[in-house]
Amino acid sequence: MNEHDSERISGLLEADGMAEANAMDEADVIVLNTCCIRENADNKLYAQLGQLKHLKKANPRLQIAVAGCLAQKDRDLIREKAGHVDVVFGTHNVHRAAELLTEARESGPIVEILEETAREDAAAFPSALPAKRESDFAAWVTIQIGCDNNCAFCIVPAVRGPEISREFAGLVTEVKALADVGVTEVTLLGQNVNSYGRDIQLARRQAGEDVRVRPLFGDLLRDVGAIDGIRRVRYTSPHPKDLRPETITAMAETDAVCEHLHFPLQAGSDRILAQMHRGYTGERFLEKLQEARAGVPDLAVTTDIIVGFPGETEDDFVRTLEVAAEARFDSAYTFVYSPRPGTEAAEWTDKFIPAEVTKDRMERLRTVIERSSRARHAERVGKTEIAAVFGPSKRDPDVMSGRTRQNKLVHFASDKPLKAGTYARVKIVDSGMHYLRGELLDITALPTHRTRIPVVSA
């Protein structure tokens, strides 16, 4: 979500007549787009602002802006700690980036933080913004902003506001427009994508409209997947408590939807899950996972896990290990619990887990994850996969890197460089914990975007 906001900020600055600088010390404007989901981002920001102070001395024209949810959380504190910052803005006024820089140039430093995005703005504004995409062929599409859940560890609802879904028809039009300019892969973004549309439905019902029980997230997958030119559809994140059978069916029946599910577990112990307010048990998580795997053959599953949530006992943690082992994840983002101001769990200071305990638990969890990661990758050897090439490998320019439908990194040699966005058929010959190695078979123009299901519109 944050990366996509950065693309939108770059797009706005470019539309305002700026061009990308080659290096920080050549820039006249530097925007630090921050995230406050975990604490180390705070520390990084202030360290970086310290470094930028020297640049500002060397180039007095330099404007420094701090954006994003950390800016929103710290607001005035940023200018107190770093007086050389010119503009501070949050996640709800990204669209003001260029104007705020101009205003600050004319009349001095500005801190502008909005508490929430108005529903009307949310509907129009992400698509109305010119985004400068990192990739020519892959694009993020925000389908929903904010979050209505109250996970005890999480600061997102406080900084991103309540859940607002963008209009179904507008989203489909937006993806069509992306396909027209050569985008073949889209990732639908939301904090809880399976509740997509719930708020629209409620608002219409309250307005006395006669509403059918849609649009749902599965409908969106089908309609986006049916757009000509769109070969891959991904999404993140589905909250395990809200993953519905319809979504699984839509995934299975829409060829363009990739065989990958990011399914954040957070913890395995029912006691901790309840304290987190996650709305599922370890058992229920595994059942849903089983349903998803049964419905979508060859499904890769990745996850997020938090270690050291306040009050986590050894037994609780062992249950996380058990559930993770049983789930056989393809990979996992593992996080040490980080108390976030204003969240419920941050109050439970007497239950905080000592750093040496979390360190030890983290190592044990990584061992479990590594085991399934290696095994899952090794299972791909001998298969033929389609790689969407994103460029030459970092280590060797003769080796191309791409992503398989399961979102696995794959490297393969090619006599000539392949353009980003090329779809290549590769035979997998080797694997590691985080990658596959393949041999190029041919370049594919397979129409993987066709769905077998008739298109339904909202």
**For residues 124-153, which are near ligand SAH according to CB under 6 A?**
153
Helix (H, G, I), strand (E, B) or coil at 289: helix
Residue window 373-392: x/- pattern of binding to ligand SAH, with contact defined by CB under 6 A: --------------------
Nearest to 374 by CA among 405, 326, 328: 328
Strands 185-189 and 138-142, by their bridges, are parallel
Mark the segment that binds ligand SF4 (CB under 6 A) among 96-104, 146-154, 178-186, 448-456: 146-154
Which of ligand SF4, ligand SAH, none interacts with 372 (beta carbon under 5 to 8 A by kind)? Answer: none
Name the residue nearer to ligand SAH (CB basis): 63 or 191.
Answer: 191
Query: Interface with ligand SAH includes 121 (CB under 6 A)?
Result: no
Query: Interface with ligand SF4 includes 73 (CB under 6 A)?
Result: no
Residues 6 or more apart whose Cβ sits within 8 Å of residue 422:
388, 389, 443
Q: How far apart are CA 135 and CA 182, in angstroms?
A: 11
# chain residues binding ligand SAH, by CB under 6 A: 17
Residues β-bridged to residue 139: 186
Which of ligand SF4, ligand SAH, none interacts with 225 (beta carbon under 5 to 8 A by kind)? Answer: none
Q: Are 89 and 102 in contact (CB under 8 A)?
A: no
- Residue 279: DSSP 8-state: S
Sign for the CA dihedral angle at 304, 308, 311, 313 comes to: positive
Which of ligand SAH, ligand SF4, none interacts with 37 (beta carbon under 5 to 8 A by kind)? Answer: ligand SAH
Q: Are 12 and 95 in contact (CB under 8 A)?
A: yes
Query: Interface with ligand SF4 includes 239 (CB under 6 A)?
Result: yes
Mark the segment that binds ligand SAH (CB under 6 A) among 251-259, 335-343, 424-432, 444-452: 335-343
# chain residues binding ligand SF4, by CB under 6 A: 9
Please give the sequence-ordered ranges of beta strands (E in DSSP) within 373-454, or none if there are none: 384-392, 399-403, 409-413, 423-431, 435-443
- Among 8, 79, 166, 239, contact with ligand SAH (rule: CB under 6 A): 239
**For residues 158-217, which are near ligand SAH according to CB under 6 A?**
191-192
Q: Are 32 and 118 in contact (CB under 8 A)?
A: no
Query: Interface with ligand SF4 includes 192 (CB under 6 A)?
Result: yes
Q: How far apart are CA 194 and CA 205, in angstroms?
A: 19
- Minimal distance in Å, beta carbon 320 to ligand SF4? 16
Residues β-bridged to residue 430: 437
- Minimal distance in Å, beta carbon 151 to ligand SF4? 3
- Among 136, 335, 374, 440, contact with ligand SAH (rule: CB under 6 A): 335
- Minimal distance in Å, beta carbon 440 to ligand SF4? 39
Q: Are 297 and 259 in contact (CB under 8 A)?
A: yes
Query: Interface with ligand SAH includes 285 (CB under 6 A)?
Result: no
- Among 8, 319, 340, 411, contact with ligand SAH (rule: CB under 6 A): 340
Q: List alpha helices for 59-129, DSSP H.
A: 69-74, 76-81, 97-107, 119-128
Which of ligand SF4, ligand SAH, none interacts with 282 (beta carbon under 5 to 8 A by kind)? Answer: none
End-to-end CA distance of the chain: 25
Nearest to 301 by CA among 322, 320, 324: 324
Query: Interface with ligand SF4 includes 147 (CB under 6 A)?
Result: yes
- Among 48, 135, 149, 448, contact with ligand SF4 (rule: CB under 6 A): 149
Name the residue nearer to ligand SAH (CB basis): 37 or 70.
Answer: 37
Which of ligand SAH, ligand SF4, none interacts with 157 (beta carbon under 5 to 8 A by kind)? Answer: ligand SF4
Query: Interface with ligand SAH includes 37 (CB under 6 A)?
Result: yes
Name the residue nearer to ligand SAH (CB basis): 301 or 306.
Answer: 306
Residues 6 or more apart whose Cβ sits within 8 Å of residue 288:
240, 243, 263, 280
Query: Interface with ligand SF4 includes 144 (CB under 6 A)?
Result: no
- Among 126, 157, 310, 421, contact with ligand SF4 (rule: CB under 6 A): 157
Please give the sequence-ordered ranges of beta strands (E in DSSP) within 113-252, or none if there are none: 138-142, 144-145, 164-165, 185-189, 232-236
- Minimal distance in Å, beta carbon 159 to ligand SF4? 10
Query: Interface with ligand SF4 includes 151 (CB under 6 A)?
Result: yes
Please give the sequence-ordered ranges of beta strands (E in DSSP) within 69-180, or none if there are none: 87-89, 110-112, 138-142, 144-145, 164-165
Mark the segment that binds ligand SF4 (CB under 6 A) among 19-27, 152-160, 251-259, 327-335: 152-160
Nearest to 389 by CA among 431, 429, 417, 427: 417
- Among 34, 191, 358, 406, contact with ligand SF4 (rule: CB under 6 A): 191
Q: How many residues does the chain have?
A: 458
* Binding site residues, ligand SAH, CB under 6 A: 37-38, 153-154, 156, 191-192, 237, 239, 264, 266, 304, 306, 335, 337-338, 340
Binding site for ligand SF4 (CB under 6 A): 147, 149, 151, 154, 156-157, 191-192, 239
